[in-house]
Every structure is written in C-alpha cells, then in structure tokens.
Structure 1
C-alpha cells in the first residue's frame, strides 16, 4: 500500500451495498481490503478494480458468524502490514420468520454478524486510527432502525437500531482524535438482499420511487462520514418516513408499521 492512498476495509464486499462501497472507494483512490465469505466473487472484484483504478486490493475470505473471525481478520491485516484508515461495517443479511420459528443457533449467528462483529472490528481498529490521528467508520444500519419493529425478521430492526446508537456514541468518543463515525441508514436498495430472504416477488410490487441504487447509497455514505455527519438517511422518501414515524404517537406508528410490513415481509414464516 502506498503512503498516499487511504486503506479501506469493506465487509460484505461481494455484492450489494458492500460491492458498491468498494467500487466508489476505489474510484476515489483508496486501496482496499475486501472481506466476505465468497472468495471467488471477491477475487473477481479485486482484479477488476485493480485493472480499472491501479489500486491495491487485498482479499480476505471470512465468515463473520464465527466469533473468532474479527480477531483472525485483524491478525491477517497485521501479518500483511496493513493499517486500516476506513472501516465499512456493511456485512449483513435478513433472517425470515418469527423468533421461535428459527433455531437459536440461527439467531446467535445473526447477532454475531450484525452486532458483535462490527463492534469488535471497531474496537480492534480504532486504536490505530487514533495513533495516526485519522480514521473513518461507516456502520451500515437501516431505516428499519428508526421505525417500529414488526412481526417476522424479529432481530433485524433491533440490530440496526443498535448500530445507530453505537455509531452515535463512537462519533462522540472519537471526534477529537480525527476519527469520524457515521451510521448509514438506507431504505429499500436494489441488491441481492431480498432474493436471499425470499421476498423478491413482494418487493417487485413496491413502487419504483421507494428504491435507491446501491451505488448512490454508498456514495452518500462516503460523503456523509467525510462531513462528520453522524447519522445519514439517504433519499427524500426515506427521510420523510423517518420524520413521520418520529412525529406519530407510538401506538399509531406501531399499527401502521405492522400494516405496511405485510407488503414486503413474511410475518409468520
């Protein structure tokens, strides 16, 4: 890695918003560490970005549902002499069904990926950012972290609300060290997410104005953290939903959230 290029680590970089972050950061002159389970996809993306932008792209295949993965990942960085300037905690997925419809191990894996791993990666990488007096951390949360929880995908909104609160605290704790921390909170985004959760057919019935492209979400996330914006909700319609939800009485907001969630979520799987 050259001294003039920031080094960005992107988790969940094999598709969707994570891949979009990798492409946008590479175009802005960053070297990259790409992390995900699917090594073949990571290597194809790394080769493409290196040819296009002349940057360096390291590939580390890791399953963040493994509690040992964050420490192992950071040891791999150290062994390669890599110092992370930007941490993009993007890895995530949805777990369809109610709480009791899934085995406990599925929930434990989900909490590990969505909450524990991003927290541990920040804990392990922030000290180096402090030493260099520069760093950026983007925790990819969701508009779901602001609206009332719904039946089905029980832990998803809860995990995203956690990332928002975590980002707010980290932003305050690290701002005097030259480190900016932001929670990026997109709404509906074109990606593989809904194919994996089995809700693609429902999602295709949603109006087009509700959606943002992954590259636009990533671009706004990068610009927000650079400005020191602690929480960013991309898209006017998403900001409107957030504002309405905050204004409504809790009981009414919960009822509306439950009623509307049937359009894009399977309540009783």
Structure 2
C-alpha cells in the first residue's frame, strides 16, 4: 500500500457533532493532523481543545450553504500551508416534511451543502492528491441512498444517491492515481441528527438492533477508505436491507418502505 507523505491533514466538514466529530476523533486516534470545519465555531474549538493532546488541529468556521465556502476553505488551507491528504465530506442535515412545505431557498441551501459542496471540494482538492500520488476522499452518504424512496424528506435520499454514484465514478477514475474515494453508507446512527430535524421521538421507537453508534461508523468508514472500497454500508443489518432493496421486485420494495415510512419520515 502506498504510504502517505507526512504531514498530511484530514479536512472534515460538519465536524462539530455526530459522525463528523466521531471521524475527527478516529483520525486523531490514528495520528492524522486535523482541519475541522462547520458553522458552529464554538463547538469546533471545544472539540479541537480535546484532540490537540493527540494531534495538531486547525479550525476554519464555514457555512457550506454559502456557495463561496468551498473556494474559501481551499484558499484558507493553502494560505495556512496545510496539505490535505484526507478529505471527509460529512456535512449534512435533513429537511423534514413535504417538499412544498418549505420555500425554495431552504431546498437550494440543502442541495448546496449535500451535493454541490461535496462535488466542489472534491474537485478542488483532488488535483493536489493526484499530484502526490496519495489521497483519500470519504463522502458520507446514507443507506437512504440505496433503498426505495418514501414521502417526506424529499431530497435526502436523492442527494445521497448522487453522493454514492459520484463517489463510485470518482473512485474508478482516481484509484490508478493513488487516490481512494469511498461513499460511506450508514443506517440509523446515534447522533443529534434526529434532534435537529425534530424526529427524535418518532425515530426512537425503532428497534435497538437497527442502530450503530457514531464512533463505530467512523472507524468502519476510515477502514473502508483505506482499503479502497468505493462503497461501504455499515452494519450487517443495513447490508441485508440494501441487498433486499436491490433484488426485490421494485413494486414489492416500494410497498414495504411505504408501509413503514411513518416510523422514520415526516411526510406532513
């Protein structure tokens, strides 16, 4: 396996909480210097203070809903002399309810964060990775991008499907040049994600065996991108669900999801 030139940093978006913070802890455990970015600088600074005992940590506050943010992040890391060898596109959230329940600006911001910023940051950092013949891009997608859609959270599964296909294609292009690209597809994960979108009470009714903790998801994700897996679904149960979605007749799969969608989707 190609060894990384040192020191290369891991740039992690959405690092202030949840899977993003768990990924920061995982890279720090592996001795990789960090660049943490998210909207909430106070949370980033608190996490950075914890992790600086293990590795150097830089903080760059940015809101990826701003179309100028990816270019700003790239320019700022270059200005600080930080070589990015690991790009983790993790920032994300959900917009609950019907598609028409929100103004277009809400959906435009969502697409900017979950689709456009992922593609742009990859495009900006990939040339540097290919030039040194080493790089890792870990795009946090979701099991939702692999299973049939349901009413509510209309753009979420669609955005994650894009991230999966984009990652697989980019992996095929970049692997011969020393860069691994992975779409990480977690299922239900214990984070504050469902608190933010107001679904905590409903989602908590799901059986415990469907869930993984964020630290486990982070460890599995970093292992997957190091191996060079173009797509990785966390947890055996989630892999079974993804397989059923692929091989069941579409009408049957859609009906099954529709029958249980109210357990995990707000369609009102």
Give the TM interval when normalised to the shorter protein.
Answer: over 0.9
Q: 2:110 aligns to what?
A: 110
Q: TM-score, length-normalised on structure 2?
A: 0.97
How do 1:1-269 and structure 2 match up within 5 A?
A: 4-51=6-53, 53=54, 55-268=55-268
How far apart are 1:172 and its partner, in Å? 0.7
Structure 1 residues 67-124: Cα deviation after superposition (integer angstroms, max 9, x where no partner)? 0000011111111011100000000000011111110000000000000001000000
- Kept after mapping to 1: 8 A contact 2:7/2:83: no
- What is the aligned-residue RMSD (CA, Å)? 0.8
For 1:206 and 1:157, how far apart are their aligned partners in 2?
Answer: 19
Cα distance in 2, alignment partners of residues 178 and 217 from structure 1: 24
TM-score, normalization: structure 1?
0.97
Deviation at 1:255, TM superposition (A): 1.3
Aligned equivalents of 1:154, 1:38: Cα separation in 2: 26
**Residues 11, 88 of structure 1: 8 Å contact kept:** yes
Contact 1:5–1:29 at 8 Å: present in 2 too?
Answer: no
Structure 1 runs of 4+ off > 4 angstroms? none
Report the secondary structure of 1:152's partner residue: coil
The alignment partner of 2:31 has SS state of coil
Give the total of aligned pairs. Answer: 264
Unaligned runs of 5+ in 1: none
For structure 2, the 5+ residue unaligned runs are: none
Q: Is contact 1:22–1:32 with CA below 8 Å preserved after alignment?
A: yes
CA deviation profile, 1:24-58 (whole Å, cap 9, x unmatched) = 0001000000000000000111111002x1x1100
**CA distance in structure 2 between the aligned counterparts of 1:264 and 1:97, rounded to whole angstroms:** 11
